A and B are shown apart, each in its own frame.
Chain A
Amino acid sequence: MSGFLESMRCSECVDWGEKRNTIASIAAGVLFFTGWWIIIDAAVKYPHMEDFNHSYHACGVIATIAFLMINAVSNGQVRGDSYSEGCLGQTGARIWLFVGFMMAFGSLIASMWILFGGYVVKEKPLVYPGIAVFFQNAFIFFGGLVFKFGRTEDLWQ
């Protein structure tokens, strides 16, 4: 027990450059899962279809699939680094990434459409479910971006 204080780390000892990937992963995790818990909250509070049409969940599902697609390919595969050849090749990786980003942007735009077209324009008394859908998709989108671009592959060498 006498060595307890010596084992505590000082903040100068930690190499923040090396921790960049960890911090990006954690931030992306917080964003992504917060998005899903927001929509779970809205779905639980408003179980009736008039308040919250549950088919709006499809938007979040597409956003999640897009997140998985975007992060399934590494930047090395898209650039064509010869050591990380995936089963689709470089062109396949680019098409996969392209479709993934299209779905991600599409779900973000769809969520804005749902908020404005489904709730604001119709002047519904209860706007919170629309806001929840929008924030869910926004959080998932930004979580995906942080996870994709916040990590550097140099640390994998």
Chain B
Amino acid sequence: ALVGLSFSGAIGLTFLMLGCALEYYGVYWPLFVLVFYIICPIPHCIARRISDDTDAASSACRELAYFFTTGIVVSAFGLPIILARVEAIKWGACGLVLAGNAVIFLTILGFFLVFGRGDDFSWEQW
């Protein structure tokens, strides 16, 4: 599972880099979505630290974390679209970045689903 996730992560980053580095596109503005990739797991981790995950099915803190994480994901999709609309990047680059976004976020989601369950499951993750 880890290998599969690493592969899809690499594919996603490849799309992102292609969106910047191809001769026809040439500008590096799309790299700003990397910021969104990095901060995306943070609300979830904070909520998990604060609330003891075992006692309630859900809690206000976890829901707030989901809210902000969704916001970060939406922002990572919105930024390339706005950059393309003001002609800072070309629409082809925007499309590549959006595809890369989708793959990376699915990878991060998969990471949390597979590895987020708890330490006692670690022996069967591979």
Residues of A within 8 A of B (CB): 1, 3-4, 7, 18, 21-22, 24-26, 28-30, 32-34, 37, 40-41, 44-45, 74, 147, 151, 155-157
CB within 8 Å for A7 and B66 given contacts A18-B58, A40-B78, A41-B81: no
Pairs A–B under 8 Å by Cβ, sample size 5: A25-B63, A30-B74, A33-B70, A37-B81, A41-B85
**Residue of A4, A18, A34, A74 touching B57 (CB-CB under 8 A):** A18
Q: Is the CB of B56 within 8 A of A157?
A: yes
User: How many Å lie between the Cα of A28 and that of B68 in the bound state?
Assistant: 10
User: How many Å lie between the Cα of A117 and that of B64 in the bound state?
Assistant: 36
Interface assignment of B67: CB less than 8 Å from any CB of chain A: yes
User: How many Å lie between the Cα of A32 and that of B74 in the bound state?
Assistant: 10
Residues of B within 8 A of A (CB): 1, 3, 56-60, 62-64, 66-71, 74-75, 78, 81-82, 85-86, 114, 124-126
CB within 8 Å for A44 and B82 given contacts A21-B58, A22-B63, A156-B58: yes
